[in-house]
Chain A
């Protein structure tokens, strides 16, 4: 008998009918509880005694429209900086993590430097690194000094590279030693083993936490405005100072969330895929 002419038993039919009823019931419960909660929230917020004042100073559509161009141009800086710094920090983290796995006395200084780097930059607050690089380094008055924006980017790369190096290292260490034995037994050198066997597995495993750090980086790139460049939040601050109205901040906040959504969605998707693979799917 093939699967197609299988006639479900009485018990199976009852089970299916019950499951269908349960599904309809669950949807109804979810819909009504959402509606109830939403109504309550709207009543609580709009009914509050200060609602009108808050709405005027935070949600003024005219001011939002006026602030949008400058905030957007600030956000463009965030986006460019994020793209460069994310790539830079991922590369730096990967290199540092690999350097820390090197064995043998020749590599002692390399290992020590790499370890010292991760200890220092994971401990040092980003703001201090930023000030040291953007204010301290130009003070040296060296020739060919890069602009403040580049120095700020370097500060971000150095700080996040430290975190990402530890994530990569955890991934490398999670690859079982039998995989190394198999690769070496085939005659692959240490480098080839890293490149073709260990790193591909390690990166796949730690992709979710790596992306999570990139999402965090997205919020921190704005800190370069402390050194002068105008990012979205700084643009909103300037606009607010001109109008004495906080709406530009809300505009910037909404834009930030919109910018983060694709990144977070990708992170969730990668996490889900990793979890599926783990469970032998």
Chain B
């Protein structure tokens, strides 16, 4: 059964359609990679799914519920979706532990001890147990991004949205974040990730969607979309990526 189903999404910014009749279906435990040139609408799509942007048309269903209905409480929807941003967006005034326990304590009303125990366990699992009391500005970019992923996981989300989570990282730090996403996939997490790491998309994604001007113009298994693309725009994009040495 589809966990996420987007139909005919449209989003305009200043009269310009950034998403245009976009359809996307994600099954439970599936990993979908969104690829496409900068400005093709990947971030906007993820923000729309998380109800951070108001739609101009179309519907989004999560677990069969129409979450694009304006009567739906967006806070309740977002609790079921974890989102990770390109620039980490950790809260600089809170320690790593407080960053992670903020939502469990304030949103899910868990006790401090319980929330902290869960957070420490999650941190230990990704090798960041020693950083629990550090502040974000004391961590490397890779560590910050891993904390941001843990923070999203602490809500026990049904769906994870990852927006170019390695793009701001130094090359030698990319691996540790990708490894964490790999583990999430192994645990069966449903994910939609926008990425420029084609090699990683090929390895981890069940399906790759190529976005161009706000539409999915080609989608399918990674070997097909990345190996034998049928659309000229996809070929052109992949050629440019190869020239930039990223495949």
Contact = CB atoms under 8 A, between A and B. Distances in A.
A196 interface: yes
A188 B106 contact: yes
A62 B137 CA distance: 59
B85 A182 contact: yes
B155 interface: yes
Nearest to B89: A182
Nearest to A187: B79
Contacts of A201: 91-93
A109 interface: no
Contact of A185 (B50, B87, B91): B50
Interface string B37-54: 000000000010010100
B152 A186 contact: yes
B83 A187 contact: no
Contacts of A16: none
A197 interface: yes
A34 interface: no
A188 B107 contact: yes
Interface in A50-79: none
A59 B139 CA distance: 59
B132 interface: no
B186 to A, nearest CB: 24
A204 B107 contact: no
B81 A185 contact: yes
A187 B81 CA distance: 9
A181 B85 contact: yes
B92 A187 contact: no
A183 B85 CA distance: 12
A140 to B, nearest CB: 46
Interface in A174-204: 178-179, 181-189, 192, 196-197, 200-201, 204
Interface residues of B, number: 26
A185 B83 contact: yes
A104 interface: no
A186 B155 CA distance: 7
A280 interface: yes
Contacts of A200: 93
B87 A186 contact: no
A146 B76 CA distance: 47
Contacts of B82: 185
B47 to A, nearest CB: 8
Give the one of B76, B78, B82 with max A CB within 10 A: B78
Nearest to B50: A185
Contacts of A182: 83, 85, 89-91
A186 B93 contact: no
Contact of B107 (A186, A197, A280): A186
A184 B47 CA distance: 11
Contacts of B91: 179, 182-183, 197, 201
B151 interface: yes
A185 B93 contact: no
A184 B103 CA distance: 10
B141 to A, nearest CB: 13
Nearest to A192: B106
Contacts of B79: 186-187
A187 B137 contact: no
21 contacts: A178-B87, A181-B52, A182-B91, A184-B75, A185-B50, A185-B81, A185-B82, A185-B83, A186-B78, A186-B102, A186-B107, A186-B152, A186-B155, A187-B76, A187-B78, A187-B103, A188-B107, A189-B75, A196-B106, A197-B102, A280-B137
